[in-house]
Amino acid sequence: MGIFSKFFGALKKTKEIISKKISQIFVGELDDEFYEELEFVLVSSDISIEASSEIVENVKKLAKKEKIKTEEDFKKLLRKAMISILDIENRPTEYPLLYTIVGVNGVGKTTAIGKLAHYFKQNKKNVLLVAGDTFRAAASEQLTEWSKRAKVRIVKYNEGVDPGAVVFDGINSAIAKKDDVVLIDTAGRLHNKVGLMEELKKIAKIVAKEWNGNSENLLVIDATTGQNALTQVEMFNEILPLSGIILTKLDGSSKGGVVFAIAKKYGIPIKYVGVGEGLEDLEPFNAEDFVQNII
Ligand SMILES: Nc1nc2c(ncn2[C@@H]2O[C@H](COP(=O)(O)OP(=O)(O)O)[C@@H](O)[C@H]2O)c(=O)[nH]1
Ligand SMILES: [Mg+2]
């Protein structure tokens, strides 16, 4: 219950804004002017122009067909149209499972790994953390803290060690101990894109070579950055094929709308959402719940 109420609370701001505006513009008549205003409401909630116009087109057709009169019925249709944008096939969670977690500095990668560790642990899985961010000593110390909190194992080395070596040893340790879940932390420094690119590619190569289980590359993005997130998706997807997104800091944001933009433009599913800094503040993403909490 705790997690859910937090999740609902997280999107409350977005919901208030969108719902209030729809009530303001909904006067019974669903004319062109109404739809134009609706599109504006969606775009200003960070649902991109492309995604907003698709939502509006779909809802327009449906509303005509179903002869919608009330605001409640209209919102139901709108929800349907929004869910269909987010309805991207998610890879099933099959074990053993390895996540390589990537993203720019400060988006919440290390925190998300701590929360994921706890989440899988609660589901009776054996989890190993791999401290692949060797750029700063503080990074592996931070991950060590999370490993203690979540009570899971960690493989780490000193600052400056080749992240490839950490990943290699981490994976082989996980295989030896028959772990179910391996979570790899990575550095996100952006001032050196080429260095970052090479590092991540090398990690991906080692994962491909050493790991036989299910493997995914997940990009962490900070919901409060809004449309900037799209640039990050673009950049990281060029380096590594991304299989999913972890959207963090929804608790501090009225910008959950960016998920529609990502789904529409890149067809990459959102897998988890972060709603705080605590161990339990992470949820698998569910499009219906998400939309239900937006309008
Ligand atoms: N409010 C909030 N803060 C978060 C969330 N996820 C991470 N943070 C904070 O964001 C900051 C950066 O997180 P960190 O995991 O170190 O980011 P990294 O550089 O990508 O590894 C820290 O202060 C975290 O506590 C979240 O879902 N909600
Ligand atoms: Mg980090």
Query: What is the structure's pLDDT at 126?
Result: 98
- pLDDT > 70: percent of the chain: 93
pLDDT for 190 equals 60
pLDDT at 257 > cutoff 70: yes
Task: Output the pLDDT for position 206.
Answer: 98
Three-state DSSP class for residue 13: helix
Please give the number of the atom of ligand 1 that sits closest to the Cα of 185. Answer: 21
Shortest-distance atom of ligand 1 to CA 115: 6
Which pLDDT belongs to residue 26?
81
Among 11, 105, 107, 111, which residue has the most ligand 1 atoms within 8 Å of its CB, making it the best to mutate? 111
251 pocket-lining for ligand 1 (C-beta < 6 Å)? yes
Cβ of 106 closer than 6 Å to ligand 1, yes or no, is yes
List CB contacts of 208: < 8 A, sequence separation 6 or more: 215
CA 280–ligand 2 middle distance (angstroms): 18
- Average of per-residue pLDDT across 57-77: 90
Pocket lining: 253 vs ligand 1, CB cutoff 6 Å: no
Model pLDDT, residue 290: 86
Bigger pLDDT: 13 vs 104: 104
Confidence of residue 29 (pLDDT cuts 50, 70, 90): confident
The rounded Å distance from CA 35 to ligand 1 centre is: 37
Kind of pairing, strands 181-186 and 127-132?
Answer: parallel
Q: In this structure, what token pair is assigned to residue 286? A: 């569910």
Residue 253 banded pLDDT, cuts 50, 70, 90: low
Residue 287 tokens read as 């499009």
Higher pLDDT, 191 or 116: 116
What is the per-residue pLDDT across 218-240, written as a single tens digit (0 to 9) for each? Answer: 999 998 887 789 999 999 999 99
Q: What would the mean pLDDT of 82-95 be, rounded to a whole number?
A: 89
Domains of the chain, earliest start first: 2-86 (1.20.120.140), 97-242 (3.40.50.300)
Q: Is 163 in the pocket of ligand 1 (CB under 6 A)?
A: no
Give me ligand 1 centre to Cα 281, in Å: 11
Of residues 65, 62, 61, 70, the one with CA closest to residue 26: 70
In short, whether 190's Cβ falls inside 6 Å of ligand 1 is: no
For residues 223 and 228, give the distance between their C-alpha atoms in angstroms, rounded to a whole number. Answer: 9
Rounded to whole angstroms, the Cα distance separating 121 from 147 reads 11
Q: Under a CB-based contact definition with an 8 Å cutoff, are residues 154 and 174 in contact?
A: no
273 - beta bridge partners?
247, 283
pLDDT of residue 9: 62
- In whole angstroms, give the CA distance from residue 271 to residue 61: 30
Question: How far are the Cα atoms of 84, 183, 190, 235, 280 from residue 135, in angstroms, in the given order?
Answer: 41, 17, 12, 20, 27
* Residues of the chain above pLDDT 90, percent: 62
Burial class (CB in 10 A: 0-12, 13-18, 19+), 177: exposed
Helix (H, G, I), strand (E, B) or coil at 153: strand
- Please determine, for residue 17, whether its predicted confidence score (pLDDT) is greater than 80: no
- Sheet containing strand 97-102, edge to edge, reads 153-155, 127-132, 181-186, 97-102, 214-222, 244-248, 270-274, 282-284
On average, the pLDDT of the chain sits at 90
226: left (phi over 0), alpha (psi -120 to 50) or beta: left
Is a pLDDT exceeding 70 seen at residue 173? yes
Q: What are phi and psi of 116, to 5 degrees?
A: -65, -40
- Give the pLDDT score at 258: 86
φ, ψ for residue 142, nearest 5 deg: -65, -40
Whether 70 shows a pLDDT value over 50: the answer reads: yes
> What's the whole-number mean pLDDT along residues 101-120?
97
Any atom of ligand 1 within 6 Å of the Cβ of 140: no
222 lines ligand 1 (CB under 6 A): no
The answer to whether residues 103 and 219 touch, using CB atoms and an 8 Å cutoff, is yes
How many angstroms is it from 109 CA to the middle of ligand 2?
Answer: 5
Check pocket membership of 109 for ligand 1, CB cut-off 6 A.
Answer: yes
Q: Is the CB of 277 under 6 A from ligand 1?
A: yes
Q: What region, left, alpha or beta, does residue 255 occupy, with left being phi > 0 and alpha being psi -120 to 50 degrees?
A: alpha
Confidence of residue 1 (pLDDT cuts 50, 70, 90): very low
Q: Lowest mean pLDDT of 18-22, 63-67, 111-115, 250-254, name the range.
A: 250-254
